[in-house]
Amino acid sequence: MSLLDRIDAKRLPRHIAIIMDGNGRWAKERGEERYVGHQEGVVSVRKVVEAASDLGIRYLTMYAFSTENWNRPKEEVDALMTLMVAAIKKETPDLMKNNVRLDAIGNLARLPELARHTLQECIDETSSNTGTTVVLALSYSSRWEITDAVRQIVAQVESGELDARSIDEETISRHLTTRNIPDPDLLIRTGGERRLSNFLLWQLSYAEFYFTGIYWPDFRKEELYEAILYYQQRERRFGRTSEQLN
């Protein structure tokens, strides 16, 4: 039985979040520039989006560039931005064909003009698609997002629009960049590290975590199926006892 056949279509994660890591090491092991790893990583993005879309996964969030990644050498940052622009342009027709909607979270104002513009065009063009929503996390970090949410909430309290005593978890969720997206059920991190690197700290409260040593450029459809099968073996108790669930 193939991995795909073993997946229970009735128990799919509604939202998968992925920390796509290991591009640089993948390239280095081949004696190539880091850039080559990022290029090959784009192919993985395409394959994983296709697989998720074919399976009927509702949301797929992909960590493509963190706030901290701005501290990389300028040449690498520039190369990543250029690659993103080219990839979005190239992939938009296929996103349309597959009914995939693109969205983005992060401090997008920090992106170079061309990158921001190209991204926005694709978001607008795919906005009526009803299949999988792919959310690119760009110039994103969770602490940036939470800090920004606090600022917005305080401003509303100061203006009298919001009563401080009414602030609850829902208020906070509503002010995060993920406000229209359900929390991830499954988090995947490739590349061998077991850390969150400032990704979706609030939203991952009850996600299942899947870590693999496979570098992102080698993570393709079969690897996604493996992660989903792992997820389907977990019992999600949300604080209750196993007996309560049955």
Residue type, 109: A
Residue 78 appears among annotated catalytic residues: no
| β-bridge mates for residue 66, sequence order | 140
Nearer to Mg ion, 216 or 225 (CB): 216
- Residues 3-22 interacting with Mg ion (rule: CB under 5 A): 21
- Residues 47-66 interacting with ligand IPE (rule: CB under 6 A): 63-66
Residue type, 30: R
Q: Which long-range contacts (CB under 8 A, 24 or more apart) does 72-79 make?
A: 76/34, 76/35, 79/35, 79/38
For residue 19, the partner it binds in ligand IPE, Mg ion, none, with Cβ less than 5 to 8 A by kind, is: ligand IPE
Q: Can you say whether residue 215 is alpha, beta or left, with left for phi > 0 and alpha for psi between -120 and 50 degrees? A: beta
Token pair of 125, please?
């063009």
Nearest alpha carbon to residue 15 among 204, 197, 192: 204
Nearer to ligand IPE, 201 or 245 (CB): 201
CB of 225 to Mg ion, least distance (A): 24
CB of 82 to ligand IPE, least distance (A): 13
The answer to whether residue 221 forms part of the interface with ligand IPE (CB under 6 A) is: no
CB of 153 to ligand IPE, least distance (A): 27
For residue 217, the partner it binds in Mg ion, ligand IPE, none, with Cβ less than 5 to 8 A by kind, is: none
Token pair of 84, please?
């993103």
For residue 65, the partner it binds in Mg ion, ligand IPE, none, with Cβ less than 5 to 8 A by kind, is: ligand IPE
Nearer to Mg ion, 6 or 30 (CB): 30
Q: At 208, is the secondary structure helix, strand, or coil?
A: strand
The answer to whether residue 24 forms part of the interface with ligand IPE (CB under 6 A) is: yes
In the complex, residue closest to ligand IPE by CB: 24
Question: Which strands sit side by side in the sheet containing 101-105, from one edge to the other?
Answer: 101-105, 133-140, 59-66, 15-19, 186-189, 208-211
Residue 21 appears among annotated catalytic residues: yes
Nearer to Mg ion, 12 or 17 (CB): 17
The answer to whether residue 6 forms part of the interface with ligand IPE (CB under 6 A) is: no
Nearest alpha carbon to residue 95 among 142, 52, 145: 52
- β-pairing, 59-66 vs 208-211, is unpaired
Where along the sequence are the contacts to ligand IPE (CB under 6 A)?
A: 19-25, 63-66, 68-69, 80, 191, 193, 195, 197, 216
Q: Which residues are catalytic?
A: 21, 69
